Amino acid sequence: MTDTAPRRVLMDCDPGTDDALALWLALASPEIQLQLVTVAGGNVGLKHTLRNARAVLGLAGAAVPLVAGADRPLLGRYQAEIRVHGQDGLAGVALPEGPPATPGLAADALRAALRAAAPGSLTLLGIAPATNLALALATEPQLADRVAEIVLMTGALGEGNWTEAAEFNAAMDPEALAVLLQAGPMVTLVTLDLTAQALVTPERIARLRGLGGGRCLAAALAILEAVPPSRRFGHRGAPLHDPCAVAWLAAPQLFTQRAVVAEVVLDGRDRGRTRIDRWGRSPAPRNARLLEGLDADGFFALLGARLAALP
């Protein structure tokens, strides 16, 4: 629990296996007041990501407005990552049908929420390709002053997971990521280098199973067990990307951080690569906070305790 007021959060996602757990973690965290959820295509097509987001919210009994958004990036098209998320986005784990989405478009709903907010009072949390968030801020850039922080699961210091250069979310819409990096508010980057420290192993799944819990934790465990172990980690487990971004808002003490200059490559073979200057070599002002270290045991303890408290 927290003695301070919860953060008011607008969350953009593309469920996706790890997005599902991130949504449940956000709903279960008293440090977060989730005011709006928007959905893009990405991990799978928008038809699937919207259905999955509805199901995740419905299983938790959450009454949070959910609005569909972009089915393609600012340029080109999304490419589904079915190797991890399966054809349906939840690795074949079936959830009950959720309540209907709120009518409208994500960018419009985001702008409306920002217009109604006081300066510096909202947090934008993006765990999908950044299209919806970029559309909202690019079309009404003065609304950036309503934003205290933009938190993005995106990018990598080193090797990507979609190409050798680029992480998936950054690769799917690098122009949108560029918009957010230049929008003005501090951008917190949750990169592959950070999420690699949140490795889901059979031992950690067993500890989560020992917590008991209700239908949400049971569904989360089914999803974790259905995700194939990663070749990048010697098949020891799979990194749990998106919940790390939520955990930063709920328990920042689990992380170490550094102020950096960040930009994204928009063309060529390295399209989607994030260039992150950690050592002040660039004369540009520091526009991002890089999360570098994670207390992994503390992260999984937080995740388990919070999901076990859900229905």
Reply yes or no on whether 85 is catalytic: no
Element (H, E) at 139: helix 131-139
Between CA 20 and CA 258 the distance in angstroms is 28
Look-up of token digits 């989607």? 272
Closest CA to 308 of 27, 4, 1, 74: 27
Category of 239 on φ-ψ map: left (φ > 0), alpha (ψ -120 to 50) or beta: beta
Between CA 272 and CA 162 the distance in angstroms is 9
What are the C-alpha distances in Å from 153 to residues 12, 194, 225? 11, 10, 22
In a 13 Å sphere around the CA of 166, the CA atoms on its Cβ side amount to 22
Spatial CB neighbours of 152, under 8 Å, sequence gap ≥ 6? 126, 127, 130, 169, 177, 180, 187, 188, 189, 190, 245
Length of the chain: 311
Residue among 48, 85, 235, 241 flagged as catalytic: 241
Hey, which residues are catalytic here?
A: 241
